[in-house]
Structure 1
Amino acid sequence: MACANTSWSEEQPCVEPAEVPCDVCTGTQQKAVKSCLMCFTSYCQTHLEPHQRVARLQKHRLVEPMDRLEDLMCKKHDRLLELFCRTEQVCVCLLCTVTDHKSHPVVPLKEEYEVKTAQLGKIEAEVPQKIQERKQKIKEIKDTVELSNKDADREIAHGGQVFTALIGCVEKGRDEFNQTVQEKLKSTEKQAEDPIKELEQEIEDLTNRSSEVKRLSHTEDHLHFLQTFRSLKDPPPTRDWTTVEVRPPSYKGTLRRSLEQLEETLNMEMKKLPDDAELKRVQKYEVDVTLDPDTAHPQLILSEDGKQVHDGGVVKELPDNPKRYTKDMFVLTRQSFSSGRFYFEVQVKDKTVWWLGVARESIDRTGETKWTPETGYWTLLYYKDVFLFSDNPSVHLPLRAELQKVGVFVDYDEGLVSFYDVEARVHIYSATGCTFTEPLYPILYPSLLEKGTNSAPLIISPVNQTD
């Protein structure tokens, strides 16, 4: 904007878009240099002169130029908003403190400004950290997606090979079934060939005899008739066909036997599928857990690092603790999980009895109860010649030779608890369709000493994915 007076523009530049104009100037407005909180007017350097000269005006409060000075006034009392009500978090005038905000704590605007500025500084400092945290989370999610893509590609490739092999098995089974049916049909056709030929020959002989009889019946030569008739007395030899039959083949059970054979083949192919890849996948969700002495039965002995537990043989006197097991020889970990996936491994080597898995937070720790999913337990039990998943009824599992380490994997959101034989790298059992509504804790039960046996501890072991 061009100034009308060159001398004014040299001393006081015209108003730029972001600047406050003088409220007194007529014609071309100049830039305000001060605003008066008593007059609620902004002044350029020329019109500010009375406030610098007149004693009464010198008492007015001058501040840096401010736009919309009317916003500084209390709409109700037409007084300056110079206080802050902390109860309602609004700016108020002096009269407000004796009316609507009489019992509210109020402070000068400057004091609240300093408080809010400090808060703003804290918020300002936190924002970059929160941004960084979210960027890191985005990276984690993208890394997970990328890893999932690689896993998916690998699984699709491997699955393609397996399904191709299985399709080959199905096609082979189909071809063998068709061949079996065709062979039965050919056998029946072969069986029918000779009787048909013989029957056709007899038909031909009988047809010829019929023709001879017909011709003879029309002759009137007595001598010829009698001489010829003698040769017709004995009919051509024929077979008694009432006892001859060709039985159709029975295909009953042929398809079933083919399908059973195919099922056996598929089962064999299933057994060839490596559990190793599955175990490696779940081992990626390893968590570091330690046993919580506040939950351990008084007869249990825990290692200093919280990784081992065994029966001490003597019930110790311990302070009462609502978290402690008092009847069953269980111990929980310090850590619990309420979402996502987690995995841990427990060494069971040289144990004759043990119990392990996960349990929900609200389990009864003071009385004896059945350890089933219904009561909040998802556990495996090993007792000499018995190996089972505790349920109602229990699921008996095949005994595993030289079982040394058990892996436990939980997908909280999917409702899945799976157990693995780590050394053999095979899947043992999975409880599916579980409903989790509260935190889950890894749980161990080393059981009692038995005449010098079962003294080995249960050990929470670090995962070694190179096994």
Structure 2
Amino acid sequence: MMKKVEEEEKPAICDFCDNTLQKPASYTCMNCSASYCKAHFVTQHHLHDQCKHVLIPPTCRRSDYVCFEHDEVVSMFCQVEQKALCMLCMNLGTHKGHDVVDIDEATKEKKTVLQADLDYLENAIATSEAEVNNLLGVSDKVKANAQIIKDNIKHANDGAKLELEKNEQELIEQVIKEEDNFSTKVNWEIYAGVQDQEMMTNIKSKINAVLECTFPIVLLKRYQHLESNRKPSVRKSLVTDLENKAMEKLLNIESMNELQVDQIIHHAHPDTKETSLLDEHMNSLKEQNEVWTIPITITANKERDLYWISYQGFSRKL
């Protein structure tokens, strides 16, 4: 057994070279059982063309190209069972009556399929790369807008710093939280996009390796070993959706801040847009120059009411 393995692993030598200058073989003829270097193959190739001999790489085992059942060279391909076979298999064996084509024709067909897969993968990779670039761009855009909104919030709060100091920090934290959530989602989508590109590039490399094969049977064997998912789906673009949702939340926070600032600056009660309830009561007290207590019916938020009343210039007794 060891001797047989050693013989199979021993590199083939050209049978037509001089014994003193034997060169490694480039082709082996299954029909002639002879091996040829590139130079001698050129002088002998017309014989193979006329007789339609089967050529295989010299490094391959002969058993891979011979029908196990009939010990004949395989020259046909069964479309039903996707298997290479010999003439006896086609005419007398289990493949009789099946859709059978010449092995060269089958090879050409598989190459066409693989080339289409390759084109698909190239387009898919380009689409994925564009998506990742768009995600990177929209990420920077949202971060820039988030910074502008944070600056706007800080600037708007300058006129009512005492009341809005706490609200400012809360709103800034909300903006930071939304910014972080968006960054997390975008980073995940970028990671997934890069993973898709690596997967499709790997499949593309495997297909290229099969397409580079010049021996029909080797190509067909490698074709069968390719992953079944040669054309993975391209991830749906989420750039617009992610950006719109992030900006909607950020703008809502900014609007909330503007409302709170407007309420304080225009002496509105912090908990309502309606100023008439407190304004009417305060004006009455101011005209009478009275010392007063906060009416319980006005609001349940005494701490905020105290600030609002002191902001109007009234004295107070609790």
Shorter chain as denominator, the TM-score bin is 0.3 to 0.5
Higher helix content, 1 or 2? 2
Higher strand share: 1
The answer to which structure, 1 or 2, has the higher relative contact order (CA under 8 A, 6+ apart) is 2
Q: TM-score, normalised by structure 1?
A: 0.28
